[in-house]
Amino acid sequence: MSVYLDHNATAKVRPEAIAAITHVLAHVGNPSSIHAAGRAARAVMEQARSDVAALIAAPASTVIFTSGGTEANALAIESAVAAGAKRLVVSAIEHDSVQETSRALGVPVETLPVDANGVADLDWLGERLARWDAADGKPFVALMLANNETGVIQPVAEAAELVRAADGWLHVDAIQAAGKVPVDSRGLGADTLSVSAHKIGGPQGVGALTFGPRATMVRRQHGGGQERGRRGGTENLPGISGFGAAAKVAVAGLAAQGALRDAAAARLQAAGAVVVGEASPRLPNTLCVATPGWTSDLQVMGLDLAGVMVSAGSACSSGKVKASPVLAAMGLGDLAACAIRVSGGWDTTEQDWNRFADAWLEAHARHAARRKEVA
């Protein structure tokens, strides 16, 4: 039997989400229609909005549904630029959807560095904001809540204090954190915060953005005035309903993954592997481990042959296996090309983590033997 340990790429869809989606698909109704079927569809959508809002401690009226986390991030960044941001500060560990959108908008982008533990350098940020040029408009800073590759949790609330003092805009990508640790968008001080359904056991193709009172949102997609005029087009009601159902049960049980992960990690460390970000607070389900002299692609393929599915980092790179920019930013050098990411989910068991560790140790022993023969 295969073991799926790539929930950070996409989680298995929860039974609650499947039931919600199936129910919507069995009934007709456009949420914008005013007849009975339309009103029923609208009620389903607004209940899901409330459930997603509760997951991130945000007012439901500030939740905009999108096609996924990538669009949610883009909506936030493009809104900030439209509101007058002329220079962006983006952390070195941000997801490609934040990095690429920022660099596509024709404004200068600066990199907020991280330390060897993968934590954002707030001393650097404070110094940079202190000498911000008014000609660059209000500062915009993007700092994710938890990294998708290492699981390292960022000091977002502390960063928010610095950004607020400079009258800036803080965007928080909480896509990996939501459903794994408690997320309080307002308590964190986020001006905008993004989440995605398929990372928490909902369907692919739906996400959301919440915005605070200091953020001015633009209309990115024109059409019939849906999402309170901020995103035109008929809403993906099946996806939204599944998102809401997953949000209601997302956090339950995932905290227990931490002990299972650590037990597996200890076995790998005994064989010479390095646990990335171990000294920092991390998501309980995420293990990033690097092995000197054993490249990521060989590890992923060896584990896959043993029926264990993991990844070499972010799944949003068109299937390419390459050295991780996140790990490079942490100063890991050659180790950046020798890391894999193992991520459990709502249905991951102790047996799954043990099976992974067994398979990894067997593959590592074979690799070490081959290297010895070549030498």
CATH topology identical between 3-11+254-374 and 15-249: no
Radius of gyration over every alpha carbon of the chain, rounded to an integer in angstroms: 21
For the chain, the structural domain boundaries read: 3-11+254-374, 15-249
Cα distances (Å, whole numbers) of residue 372 to 271, 295, 301, 303, 369: 15, 16, 20, 21, 5
| pLDDT at position 375 | 63
Helices and strands, counts by H and E, the chain: 12, 12
DSSP conformation class of 363: H
Q: What CATH number belongs to 3-11+254-374?
A: 3.90.1150.10
Q: Report the chain (375 residues): mean pLDDT per 10 consecutive residues.
A: 96 98 96 96 97 98 97 97 97 97 97 98 98 96 98 98 98 97 97 98 98 93 85 93 97 81 98 97 97 95 97 58 85 94 96 98 94 75
The predicted structure's pLDDT at residue 234: 87
User: DSSP letter string over 172-184?
Assistant: EE-TTTBTTB---
Q: Which amino acid is at 192?
A: T
Fold of 15-249: Aspartate Aminotransferase; domain 2 (3.40.640)
343 contacts 9 by C-beta, under 8 angstroms:
yes
| Location of structure tokens 């950070």 | 8
Tell me, what's the pLDDT at 232? 85
Integer Cα distance of 270 and 286 in angstroms: 19
Q: What pLDDT shows up at residue 59?
A: 98
Query: What pLDDT score does 251 carry?
Result: 74
Phi, psi of 133 (to 5 degrees): -90, 125
- The span from the CA of 50 to the CA of 305, in Å, is 43
What was the pLDDT predicted at 318? 38
Active site residues: 316
What is the reported pLDDT for 253? 65
Positive or negative, the CA dihedral 97, 103, 105, 111 is: positive
Task: Give the per-residue pLDDT at 316.
Answer: 45
pTM for this prediction: 0.95
